[in-house]
Amino acid sequence: MTQEITLANAQLILADEVITGSLKMQGGIITDIAQGTSIPTGAIDCGGDFVCPGMIELHTDNLERHISPRPKVDWPHRAAIVAHDRELAGTGITTVFDAIRVGSITSDHGKRYGKYARQVADEILQMRNAGALKISHHIHLRAEICSETLVDELAEFDESDRIGIVSLMDHTPGQRQFSDIQKYEDYVCGKHGMDRAAFPAYVDFLYNLQARLGTLHETAAVAAAHRYGATMASHDDTTASQVAASHAHGITLAEFPTTVEAANACHASGIATIMGAPNLVRGGSHSGNVAAHELAMLDRLDILSSDYVPAALLLGAVQLSQAWGNWSRGMATVTSQPSKHVHLTDRGVLSIGQRADVLRFGLVNDLPLVRSVWAAGSQVS
């Protein structure tokens, strides 16, 4: 028999309410939930801390940060995957869809970036199968439409890889996230060290690339997602017409819409909106796009993503809970809502029979502090 763990004297964040009570887990599942302040013998006294489902992250660039901690540095991948896994566990994330780019630019023109997706996916799957990872890892392929090699890279994957999400990204400058060309120049030249004198030629190269291959790549990405059986996401929708195109493709998730117009169109089309928790925590977008808080107040925010700061996910969910005056609703943006939209029916809510992915956290001056984390009933932080 596996050990039974009881968390008592906790504020349990359930699907529709918060109750003071206890939660039991054994054999990797939640076995009991009870209301009351009693602390059974052997139970962990949570002292009034919150207990909620482990968080589910659908889009994070964090693994890439570990693989390439500095420009032109390629860190050993398995070590990077483990460091990424431990970091997420420590922030209360128990399920992650690791975002890996497919579609590269390999010609010697401005900013080169080579293919890596198949290798890294294999390494994640190998580490997962070896039992080396503390939390649940899934694959999210970020299909770069404005690239040279997307079709070939997509062909390296099939349904046996169990790809969870395919997102369609088009980073052609002058639209979507980088509608402001100056901001795009600052990003490319600042982050990647491009000479500003070379920037205009690089932009022309990207425009020509998108004109030549954009439609082919978009069609290929949609077909690949269907072949894999993956959930489809759009990226940085700006206009209602872009959302309409997403809807026509069967896309059900919108990552980081950049305007209220796009968010309204997503809502009308039944597409769930994902916004970045760093945007919410910072009070605005670093690219000058719509603020996550504005969409939250308009009831146009469904899911939060930590994007590039793992610790932002819990902080953002707490801020939403407080802004909405509803802890169940706020925490759902990082638990039940993402699980529903990627069809993980065994997690995302505190309920008997569900997977025992559980997060305990306290608040100090409204700052959430992770106390303990369990993934499938095993303590991982």
What is the per-residue pLDDT for 206?
81
CA–CA dist 299, 362 (Å, integer) = 27
Residues whose CB is less than 8 angstroms from the CB of residue 208 and which lie 6 or more positions away in sequence, other chains included: none
More confident residue, 98 or 199: 98
Domain 55-346 class, CATH top level: alpha beta
Q: How far, in Å, CA of 156 to CA of 103, rounded?
A: 12
Tens digits of residue pLDDT in 175-227: 666 666 666 665 665 555 566 776 677 778 888 888 889 899 999 999 999 99
pLDDT value of position 178: 63
**Is a pLDDT exceeding 70 seen at residue 174?**
no
Q: Kindly state the average pLDDT of the residues 168-179.
A: 71
d(CA 297, CA 302): 11
Helix runs in 159-198, H state only: 181-192
Stretch (H or E) spanning 119: helix 117-129
Q: What is the pLDDT of residue 359?
A: 98
Q: Taking a C-beta distance cutoff of 8 angstroms, is the pair 208, 233 a contact?
A: no
Give the confidence band of 362 by pLDDT, cuts at 50, 70, 90. very high
**pLDDT tens digits, one per residue of 254-289:** 999 999 999 999 999 999 999 999 999 999 887 778
List residues bridging with 95 in a β-sheet. Answer: 56, 136
pLDDT given at position 202: 76
Query: What pLDDT is stored for residue 179 in this prediction?
Result: 62
What pLDDT was estimated at residue 1? Answer: 47
307-317: b (≥16 Cβ within 10 Å) or e: bbbbbbbbbbb
- Look at residue 33 in the predicted model and tell me its pLDDT: 98
Q: Does domain 1-53+347-381 have CATH number 1.20.1250.20?
A: no
Amino acid at 90: G
* CB-based contact 62:86 (threshold 8 Å): no
Question: Is the pLDDT assigned to residue 13 strictly greater than 90?
Answer: yes
Query: Where does the pLDDT of residue 14 fall: very low under 50, low under 70, confident under 90, or very high at 90 and above?
Result: very high
Residues 6+ apart with CB under 8 A from 70: none
- Structural contact between residues 141 and 166, judged by C-beta atoms closer than 8 angstroms: yes
- Which secondary-structure segment (H or E) carries 193? none
Residue type, 282: R
- For the ranges 105-109, 149-153, 235-239, 323-327, which has the lowest average pLDDT? 105-109
Structural domain boundaries of the chain?
A: 1-53+347-381, 55-346
- What are residue 305's phi and psi, to 5 degrees? -125, 145
Find tokens 């968080």 and name the residue. 55
Task: Work out the pLDDT band at 165, boundaries 50, 70, 90.
Answer: very high
pLDDT tens for each residue of 20-43: 999 999 999 999 999 999 999 999
Q: What is the pLDDT of residue 350?
A: 98
Centre a 10 Å sphere on the Cβ of residue 287 and count the other Cβ atoms it contains: 18
